[in-house]
Amino acid sequence: MLRCCAKGPLRTEHDMKTDVEVSRAAALYERALRVLPGGVSRNAALHDPHPLYVEHAEGCRLTDVEGVCRIDFANNMASLIHGHADPDVVRTVTEQLRRGTAFSVATEVEIRCAEHLRSRNPGFEKMRFVNSGTEAVMAGIKVARAVTGRPMVAKAEGAYHGAYDYIEVSQAPSPANWGSIDEPSRVPLVKGTPQSVMDEVVVFPYNDINRTIALLDRAKGKLACVVLDLMPHRIGLNPADPAFVSALRDWTTRNGVLLLLDEVITFRSCYGGLQQQYGVEPDLTAMGKMIGGGFPIGAIAGRAEFMDVLNPRSPKYVYPHSGTFSANPVSVGAGLAAMQKFDRASVDRLNALTRIAARKVEEAIRQTGIAASVTGTGSMFRVHLKPAAPRNYREAHTAPDENKRLKVLLDHMFDEGIILINSCSAALSTPMTESEIDALVAAFRSGFEKLVAMG
């Protein structure tokens, strides 16, 4: 079996078909099934016939317990901007481990990390660190409720904003239950979600100004905030129309509703977040993933007048907030090291490399004649098995036949030594070069040819 290599094609079909069926990974999965529901702690790790188990990883390459090496374009769901085991992050974390890992008192590094984030975006006047992107969105919604005294939240149909009852509403509706585009149904993600939760959420169609404003107008007296991802992954990883974003900013300002931008994924897209590309100034911004340097983290940032509802020394204080591992020095230290290294030049270089990758994939689409399209911006892109790039969740939704073809493509990429996010999305990391892009494009090309031959 082929071991980890430095450049070029990583493995062959023969390498995969030897003794993998009785592999160490299969044995690990058998053990996992006895103690973990489905054998995993997150469903995204599932893979047929069993999950991939990591032995070690470095840079943009990951080696599994069988010794097989693959190029990692998933990067832990876009959280590893510098890939695996980045030496600067490792050094920072190692030094912090010797000093201690968690305290019930404050540390200087959380101040330094906050200062750095504010230097990247002046709109981040004040912030609080939490433990995940989910927590950041949760905290942002609670800040908005505390500021406005209103209960309701508005979100785009199909958008993922973490594991919180209110923001899970209509995260994964289907044609069978999503209702009219004029008023999308409020669909629970998890069985047993209280109806009272559903009643506090407005679901609007992404990128549709007129329908969205009409829905917001009907609830404006009860709305605390509008939550928006400027390039929502599950809606198709297609950047929002600037006019749509501007309309939401104008409407929220006029009606005393806070605009909360979810930049958990998209903060990597520009030096100070994707919002800088739009020239929009939200009231609050939720962050996570990249800002932790590979460790669990989240942050909610925004205008000082709103963030002061968290401040026990402020007369505006109405939101008690704490957390055992919030501003953990390992996470904020790793994040600071990673972000300092991801300077403007690094952002520009990685974005340019991503544009090269997307362009070459589009060329492979044209040359093979497959019905497919590419979306994305910054350092991420997604391949859709649709002839036209989707602009909203309903257009991005995949039918059963498309899901089958997508699985064939993803399995092919995996067998060619390429790890993608399971939506067929790629999140690039700074160790990557055009050599890795060439391997990615070659795998896509042969995958497209396989699908075309299937008919």
The domain locations on the chain are: 13-85+344-454, 87-341
Mean pLDDT of 307-311: 98
pLDDT digits (tens, 9 = 90+) for 221-239: 999 999 999 999 999 999 9
For residue 323, the tally of other CB atoms under 10 A from its CB is: 14
All residues at 6 or more sequence positions from 272 whose CB lies less than 8 Å from its CB, including other chains: 120, 121
Residue-wise pLDDT for 345-360, tens only, equals 999 999 999 999 999 9
Instruction: Give residue 173's identity as a one-letter amino acid code.
Output: P
Query: What are the tokens at 166?
Result: 């209110």
Q: Which two tokens stand for residue 455?
A: 């008919």
**For residues 450 and 82, what is the distance between their CA atoms, to the nearest angstrom?**
32
Closest to 298 (Cα-Cα) out of 161, 149, 98: 161
pLDDT digits (tens, 9 = 90+) for 257-269: 999 999 999 999 9
Cis peptide bond upstream of 122, omega within 30: no
- Residue 52 identity: L
Say which CATH topology domain 87-341 has: Aspartate Aminotransferase; domain 2 (3.40.640)
Q: Is 273 left (phi over 0), alpha (psi -120 to 50) or beta?
A: left
Question: In the prediction, which pLDDT does 285 show?
Answer: 98
What count of other Cβ atoms lies within 10 Å of the Cβ of residue 294? Answer: 25
Q: Tell me, what amino acid is at 146?
A: A
User: Given pLDDT bands bounded at 50, 70 and 90, which one contains residue 20?
Assistant: very low
- Taking residue 275's Cβ as centre, other Cβ atoms within 10 Å add up to 24
Buried/exposed 124-143: b ≥16 CB within 10 Å, e otherwise? bebbbbbbbbbbbbbbbbbb
Long-range CB pairs of 46-49, under 8 A, 24+ apart, other chains included? 47/414, 48/411
Q: For the CA atoms of the chain, what is the radius of gyration? A: 22
- Asked if 306 and 284 count as a contact pair (C-beta separation under 8 A), the reply is yes
- The DSSP symbol for 10 reads -
Hey, what are 336's tokens? 């600071």
Locus of tokens 């362009």: 359
3-state secondary structure 101-162: CCCCCCCHHHHHHHHHHHHHCCCCCEEEEECCHHHHHHHHHHHHHHHHCCCEEEEECCCCCC
DSSP letter at 375 equals E
State whether the Cα torsion 168-172-174-178 is positive or negative: positive
The answer to whether domain 13-85+344-454 has CATH 1.10.10.10 is no
Q: What is the pLDDT of residues 37-74, one digit of tens each?
A: 999 999 999 989 999 999 999 999 999 999 999 999 99
